[in-house]
């Protein structure tokens, strides 16, 4: 394939994609509802980080669906969210029959984030396969082990994939070194092959679309390479998609806002050592500045 030229993703780029304005009298329904399906007994915080980030991005309503064993704690930790307990596999993943509890949400949610902190890749794949047709009218973001369904066949719904180099190596069969050297080519080829908007995360983040467009973002910071940072980024993308941005634009806004939030913390606290949980608190002010 002929590679597109990757345009630089900057604050100015976002001016062409303003955030939807629901108006001063709009209620929470007007800002969209996001469903976050995440977490496991070992990574309970991933659901919390992604869910709160979606709200910080401006989504009006949040539902978290998670393994039943961690649902009570999450309900207390994120009182802003509805929490739906889902049946678990023996390996601690999500059982396919759990989709029955989520089906009634299909007509109400605008975006779905699936994968942060999930476990039992093999056992959870039937759940993800059954989920996708239910939410075919929504923007669906697949993160972590949920992305493994990408290797089976091209998607026929608006899907966002958010691999880092290690995850892309797992999905593509390439080495991490090859992916780092040819990130643009790898992301663009994957976007076309899987019919998905691919966000290949790294020191330089590449956003590639199945239509052949590509963006590169070079303004990340070392401090963002920390546990939970990717969960926050996934939640931001879900929140922006819930507000009405299409996948490419939701990804672009999330990547820039995530980085600016990290830069703000870096200036106040130091270049490394701030926590992923602190990023969300920076997001509203960053959005306000970028939206001017």
Q: Which of 44, 47, 56 is nearest to 236 (CA)?
A: 56
**What is the structure's pLDDT at 285?**
97
The average confidence (pLDDT) of the chain is 95
- Per residue in 220-233, pLDDT (tens digit) is 889 999 999 999 99
Ordered strands of the 82-86 beta sheet: 7-8, 214-217, 205-208, 197-200, 159-161, 139-142, 111-114, 33-37, 61-67, 82-86
Q: How far apart are CA 146 and CA 74, in angstroms?
A: 21
Domain spans of the chain, in order of start: 32-290
CATH code for the domain defined by 32-290:
3.40.1190.20
- Per residue in 29-72, pLDDT (tens digit) is 888 999 999 999 999 999 999 999 999 999 999 999 999 999 99
- Per residue in 173-188, pLDDT (tens digit) is 999 999 999 999 999 9
């Amino acid at each position: 394939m002929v590679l597109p030229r990757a345009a630089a993703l900057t604050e100015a780029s976002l001016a062409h994609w303003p955030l939807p304005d629901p108006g001063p009298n709009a209620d929470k329904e007007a800002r969209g509802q996001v469903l976050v399906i995440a977490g496991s007994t070992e990574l309970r915080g991933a659901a919390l980080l992604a869910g709160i980030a979606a709200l910080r991005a401006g989504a009006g309503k949040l539902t978290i669906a998670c393994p039943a064993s961690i649902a009570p704690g999450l309900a207390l930790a994120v009182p802003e969210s509805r929490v739906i307990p889902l049946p678990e596999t023996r390996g601690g993943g999500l059982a396919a029959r759990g989709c029955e509890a989520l089906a009634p949400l299909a007509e109400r949610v605008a975006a779905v984030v699936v994968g942060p902190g999930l476990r039992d890749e093999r056992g959870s794949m039937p759940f993800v396969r059954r989920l996708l047709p239910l939410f075919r009218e929504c923007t669906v973001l697949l993160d972590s082990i949920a992305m493994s369904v990408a290797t089976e066949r091209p998607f026929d719904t608006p899907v966002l994939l958010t691999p880092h180099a290690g995850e892309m190596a797992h999905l593509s069969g390439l080495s991490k070194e090859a992916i780092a050297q040819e990130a643009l080519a790898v992301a663009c080829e994957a976007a076309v092959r899987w019919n998905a908007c691919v966000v290949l995360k790294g020191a330089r983040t590449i956003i590639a679309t199945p239509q052949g467009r590509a963006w590169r973002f070079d303004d990340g910071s070392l401090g963002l390479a920390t546990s939970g940072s990717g969960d926050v980024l996934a939640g931001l993308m879900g929140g922006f998609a819930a507000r009405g941005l299409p996948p490419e634009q939701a990804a672009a806004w999330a990547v820039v806002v995530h980085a600016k939030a990290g830069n703000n913390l870096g200036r106040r606290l130091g270049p490394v050592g701030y926590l992923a949980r602190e990023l969300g608190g920076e997001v509203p002010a960053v959005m306000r500045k970028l939206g001017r």
